[in-house]
Amino acid sequence: MAGIELNISCPNVGKGGLQFAIDRDAARAVTAAVRRATDLPLLVKLSPNVADVRPIAKAIEEAGADAITAINTLSGLAVSADRTRAFLGNTYGGLSGPAIKPVALRIVYEVAQVVSIPIVAIGGVTTLDDVLDFLACGAVAVQVGTAIFADPELPVRLGDELRAECLRRGLSSYGPLIGTALPKRTGAASAKGAEYRP
């Protein structure tokens, strides 16, 4: 089925170059505008480059998104060989791949505790263990980004491996693997229990 994944980590010219994804009100407004424009399934993709992503995720949910994708790249910088300037033409670049998996896991874990819409995880996935970790933290599906450049067939293989893992565990679907690492909660979705941040 076709859908739209809204990458909101791009500059908002009207607000002086601010990224929609780092401002709760801008994230809410752009999600609502796209929601009004389409009935297609709408996924909105979070940026990790904020102190607390949870209010932004909640605003996106309230604005009508069908799902959240987490995460986009982490903002990074490289220095030129002669150390006279930033190396990249755009000064900053996006850090991706296995190094960002713990950050992506933390964000999926946090967001899963404050929204009711599904979370699609991405960030450093290269193995079945990565997929299982993201499912355990509350993702209902997992994407592969950087690793595809080295191995374009990886997503298909990971799907096969996940199916085999479910069979091995006597499961007819991977549903029971979702959210097993989340704190057990008795009431409605809430940020309680996710307050600790190192």
| Interface with ligand FMN, residue 47, by CB under 6 A | no
Residues 21, 112, 122, 178: which binds ligand FMN (CB under 6 A)? 122
> Is 166 an annotated catalytic residue?
no
**Nearest to ligand FMN of 7, 117 (CB atom):** 7
68: left (phi over 0), alpha (psi -120 to 50) or beta: beta
| Interface with ligand FMN, residue 72, by CB under 6 A | yes
Task: Name the helix (H) or strand (E) containing 140.
Answer: none
Segment contacting ligand FMN by CB under 6 A, of 13-21, 89-97, 150-158, 187-195: 89-97
Residues 47, 53, 68, 123: which binds ligand FMN (CB under 6 A)? 123
Q: Report the C-alpha gap between 51 and 77 in whole angstroms.
A: 19
Site for ligand FMN in 147-176 (CB under 6 A): 147
**Nearest to ligand FMN of 19, 73 (CB atom):** 73
Task: Name the helix (H) or strand (E) containing 95.
Answer: strand 92-95
Please provide the size of the chain in residues. 198
Dihedral sign of CA atoms 93, 120, 56, 100 in order? negative
Q: Which residues are catalytic?
A: 10
